[in-house]
Chain A
Amino acid sequence: MRKEVIKRVKAFRILGRSIRDSFKSVFRNFSLSIASILCTTITLILVAIAIVISANVNHITKDMEEELTIVVYANADTSDEQLKQIENEIKEISEVASVVAKSKEEWRLEMKSYSETLNTTLEYLEENPLLDSFIVTVNDAEDLRPVALEIREMNNIESANYGEGMVEDIISVFDIIQTVTLVMVIALIVVTAFLISNTIKLTIFSRRSEIEIMRLVGSSNTSIKLPFVFEGFLLGILGSIIPIIIMIYGYLIMYEQISNSSSFSIIELISPMPFILITSITLLLIGSLVGMFGSARAVRKYLKI
């Protein structure tokens, strides 16, 4: 029992020493540490930009995707039976999410409510000049075109139209932006991990006689490795401070600007509060993990234990 306690106390003391050593080491190899920290900083700024862009793009496209609708008009002389058949046929297309029939009578009532002139005009006409229609929604922006084309091929269809290109184009551009930033960020993370790994390698090198003695006097492998893992961790954490500050202020300013400006009124950004907190934590996690991963690589490669 007592022995267990002593063992734990010793482990804590070794932990404390490791942390102290890692701090010392960051200052001892100052220029290289600064290089790693800067690289982490740049990477994480880009990661932050990527997160902010893609989260908001997702947010905006979600809004757009809710309007992924095709308006289908049947020919003027289509019977009720044929209408029912069209509806069933559309429902059978697998990409279709929903079909809502909207009769010409419903259209007329809706239009009447739009304006007084329209109201009187429609009253004046004996026949309803409008067409029976279906509001079709699809699951994905990519499905808009093929589904519309398929519906146009059916019998008794006057037209099947959708946002024609506009929505699709915007969404596909957003998709490209997301892919490019993702690839860039992954590449930068790899570079950062290598740079941190190199910094740790230099630390290992500059402390090789110390390590040799530690091994001779009976330090466990873990307690030899620990300071280096901490050092990588520390470099990662230090590198994530500036990106987090930039991200928080940048996002708050951007949010303020966009929500107050009239020309951007269609765009609505994610509200800042949980968002910047979650993004900060993500950046901190990425920084520290990249740091630890880099140092683990160096330790495995150059410590040979």
Chain B
Amino acid sequence: MRFIEIKNCYKVYKNGVAAIADLTLNINKGEFIFVIGASGSGKSTLIKMLYREEKPTKGTVEIGGINVGKLRNRTVYKLRRKLGIVFQDFKLLPKLTVYENVAFALECLGMKGSEIRPKVIKALDHVGLKDKIRSFPGELSGGEQQRVCIARAIVNNPKLLICDEPTGNLDPKTSKGIMEVLENINKELGTTIIMATHDKEIVNRMKKRVIVLEDGLLAEDHEKGSYKASESI
């Protein structure tokens, strides 16, 4: 079942940089897909167009039948509620506990405390952090902080999880743990996951679909691909 449909998509920034050029890409429900490419090849730009931080200059980006590029600024929040987003820098609130950080996402949507609680516990359980509920982000390791972010991203049961270099700040062992968490989410919850990364090892080990971007162009698209298939990078 087709979930994301990107058609002849271009992104030219205001300063004239063409970050994405003529990209056509389809992603099915439940897929786990890596987006790789050299620095500046347009990975983050593609991710940003998915959560409508940037609008495509030309062409369409559709998620679940919604033309994302056509959304008005005022209604973007409706899309965001159906997505989970994870970044390299964790974007946690330092003055809130782990629990509060995850609950924050639901409070923003106006849910009530008793409704929030089981969802937060479940999400934290999924990332293996149930016993750190009362810790503050400053008391956690990088890997643990990223798990909190993932819990926050999945707490509202999104259909799509978007990750921009989630392991970029982590050592290989910690990264492996994060990838296990993501794979679990993909398998158990059926969440579609798109992840931009630089990490060779991860891509080679996971044997998932790999999209390779080169100067904004779609260079390669492999089922069960790996970094080896694109030695040029």
Q: A218-B77, A219-B77, A221-B77 given as contacts; is B109 within 8 A of A213 (CB)? A: no
Contact of A217 among B73, B74, B80 (CB under 8 A): B80
- Alpha-carbon separation in the docked complex, A181 to B82 (Å): 56
| B110 close to A14 (CB less than 8 A) | yes
B80 / chain A contacts, CB cutoff of 8 Å: 215-218
**B158–chain A nearest beta-carbon distance, Å:** 10
Check if B71 is an interface residue, CB within 8 A of chain A: no
Q: A213-B104, A218-B78 given as contacts; is B73 within 8 A of A11 (CB)? A: no
Considering only CB atoms, which chain B residue lies closest to A16 in the complex? B110
Check if B205 is an interface residue, CB within 8 A of chain A: no
Check if A59 is an interface residue, CB within 8 A of chain B: no
Check if B108 is an interface residue, CB within 8 A of chain A: yes
Contact of B110 among A13, A212, A221, A305 (CB under 8 A): A13
Considering only CB atoms, which chain A residue lies closest to B96 in the complex? A210
| A218 close to B110 (CB less than 8 A) | no
Number of residue pairs across A and B with beta carbons under 8 Å?
A: 57
A301 / chain B contacts, CB cutoff of 8 Å: none
**B115–chain A nearest beta-carbon distance, Å:** 10
B110 / chain A contacts, CB cutoff of 8 Å: 9-11, 13-14, 17, 223
**A47–chain B nearest beta-carbon distance, Å:** 36
Question: Which residues of A (242-289) have their CB < 8 Å from a CB of B?
Answer: none
A213 / chain B contacts, CB cutoff of 8 Å: 91, 93, 104-105
Check if B81 is an interface residue, CB within 8 A of chain A: yes
B203 / chain A contacts, CB cutoff of 8 Å: none
Considering only CB atoms, which chain A residue lies closest to B106 in the complex? A217
Contact of A218 among B74, B93, B109, B112 (CB under 8 A): B109
| A217 close to B91 (CB less than 8 A) | no
Check if A220 is an interface residue, CB within 8 A of chain B: yes
Name the residue in A212, A214, A215, A218 with the highest tally of chain B Cβ atoms < 10 Å from its Cβ.
A218
Chain A count of residues within 8 A CB distance of the other chain: 20
A210 / chain B contacts, CB cutoff of 8 Å: 93
Interface string of B187-201 (1 = CB under 8 A from A): 000000000000000
- Alpha-carbon separation in the docked complex, A214 to B110 (Å): 12
| A217 close to B112 (CB less than 8 A) | no
Check if B38 is an interface residue, CB within 8 A of chain A: no
Please, could you name 25 A-B residue pairs with CB atoms under 8 Å apart, sorted by A?
Answer: A9-B110, A13-B111, A13-B112, A14-B108, A14-B110, A209-B93, A210-B93, A212-B91, A213-B93, A213-B104, A214-B108, A215-B77, A216-B80, A216-B85, A217-B80, A217-B81, A217-B104, A217-B105, A218-B78, A218-B79, A218-B109, A219-B109, A220-B77, A223-B108, A305-B73
Considering only CB atoms, which chain A residue lies closest to B73 in the complex? A305
B74 / chain A contacts, CB cutoff of 8 Å: 220-221
Considering only CB atoms, which chain A residue lies closest to B104 in the complex? A213
**B11–chain A nearest beta-carbon distance, Å:** 20
Residues of chain A whose beta carbon lies under 8 Å from any beta carbon of chain B: 9-11, 13-14, 17, 209-210, 212-221, 223, 305
- Alpha-carbon separation in the docked complex, A99 to B102 (Å): 84
Considering only CB atoms, which chain B residue lies closest to A216 in the complex? B85
Considering only CB atoms, which chain B residue lies closest to A220 in the complex? B77
Check if B139 is an interface residue, CB within 8 A of chain A: no
5 A-B pairs with least C-beta separation: A10-B110, A218-B81, A218-B80, A217-B105, A219-B108
Name the residue in A14, A210, A216, A221 with the highest tally of chain B Cβ atoms < 10 Å from its Cβ.
A216
B73 / chain A contacts, CB cutoff of 8 Å: 221, 305
Check if B152 is an interface residue, CB within 8 A of chain A: yes
Check if B125 is an interface residue, CB within 8 A of chain A: no
Question: Which residues of B (53-105) have their CB < 8 Å from a CB of A?
Answer: 73-74, 77-83, 85, 91, 93, 104-105
**A233–chain B nearest beta-carbon distance, Å:** 21
Contact of B152 among A17, A217, A219 (CB under 8 A): A217
- Alpha-carbon separation in the docked complex, A49 to B141 (Å): 61
Check if B180 is an interface residue, CB within 8 A of chain A: no
Check if B107 is an interface residue, CB within 8 A of chain A: yes
B109 / chain A contacts, CB cutoff of 8 Å: 10, 217-219
Name the residue in A13, A210, A219 with the highest tally of chain B Cβ atoms < 10 Å from its Cβ.
A219
**B22–chain A nearest beta-carbon distance, Å:** 28
| B107 close to A17 (CB less than 8 A) | yes
- Alpha-carbon separation in the docked complex, A220 to B81 (Å): 10
- Alpha-carbon separation in the docked complex, A221 to B73 (Å): 9
Considering only CB atoms, which chain B residue lies closest to A217 in the complex? B105
Name the residue in B79, B105, B152 with the highest tally of chain A Cβ atoms < 10 Å from its Cβ.
B105
- Alpha-carbon separation in the docked complex, A213 to B86 (Å): 11
